[in-house]
Amino acid sequence: MPGSADPTSSSSTLSPAEIEAGRKLFAAPWQFLAAAGSLAAVPATTGMEIAFAGRSNVGKSSLINALTGRRMLARTSHTPGRTQELIFFANPANLVLVDLPGYGYASAPKAKIKSWTALAHGYLGSRAALARVYLLLDARHGLKPIDAPLLDALDRAAVSYQLVLTKADQVKPADYEAVIARVREGCARRPAAFPDIALTSTRTGHGIPELRAAIVRLMAQRSAVRPPT
């Protein structure tokens, strides 16, 4: 809920123990679990899922690779064939990262855009294991009209999502606050948007330990309310 106090908020201080737990969680070996080109091919749930979405070139593969410490885990936008699939990665702690296809290819045929939208929105709207979506935005550009359909789908599905500004190294630290304020303003009326906005850079590592720790906190909360079956 916008403005409500959420304990996973990055503004509520993450303790050194949480940062360390985040490091450990993500240092565990990650494995490719599945690639789903249709909703029918989405694998059975194996743990808490965190999905990453954003327009192509926003830095999504780089962020997943930085979080997991694996340089080549997530595909880059340049990997042909994989761009229309949901990719699932799992680690031994039953955390599953889901890489959604990047949207916003100017040259993509309409039919492809339609099938991507149906797949991504269908997954986002129907997955009980999905704990949070990280919606990535380039810190230099913030929210764009191209992001609206996904934001609308997340709001409709009432899936909790957090905006993550990528490529923070391309913005002067003195401008961070203004950039974040502008994005916050842009999603102020969106009911499922998490009130805090994260800022990351895979070049400098800015925000990466905090994002890992926030996911640890989310896992702890989920297991507190939903004991594992």
Q: How far is the CB of 54 from ligand GDP (least distance, A)?
A: 6
E strands, the chain, in order? 31-36, 48-54, 86-90, 95-99, 130-138, 161-166, 198-199
Residues 26-55 that bind ligand GDP (CB under 6 A): 54
Residue type, 206: H
Cα–Cα distance list, 95 to 73, 105, 144, 212 (Å): 15, 30, 30, 11
- Give the C-alpha separation, 159 to 135, whole Å: 12
From candidates 102, 142, 195, 207, binder to ligand GDP by CB under 6 A: 102
Q: Which span (25-33, 59-67, 85-93, 216-224) binds ligand GDP, by CB under 6 A?
A: 59-67
- How many of the other CB atoms lie within 10 Å of CB of 18? 18
Hey, what are 158's tokens? 């009432």
Hey, what are 108's tokens? 């993509």
170 binds ligand GDP (CB under 6 A): yes
Q: Which span (6-14, 16-24, 184-192, 196-204) binds ligand GDP, by CB under 6 A?
A: 196-204
Query: Among 23, 61, 78, 42, which Cα is nearest to 213's?
Result: 23
**Residues in binding contact with ligand GDP, number by CB under 6 A:** 18
101 binds ligand GDP (CB under 6 A): no
From candidates 203, 220, 223, 226, binder to ligand GDP by CB under 6 A: 203
97 binds ligand GDP (CB under 6 A): no
Hey, what are 13's tokens? 């201080």
186 binds ligand GDP (CB under 6 A): no
Q: How far is the CB of 196 from ligand GDP (least distance, A)?
A: 19
Q: How far is the CB of 220 from ligand GDP (least distance, A)?
A: 28
- Give the C-alpha separation, 92 to 80, whole Å: 29
From candidates 127, 132, 167, 212, binder to ligand GDP by CB under 6 A: 167
Interface residues with ligand GDP (CB under 6 A) are: 54, 56-62, 76-77, 102, 166-167, 169-170, 201-203
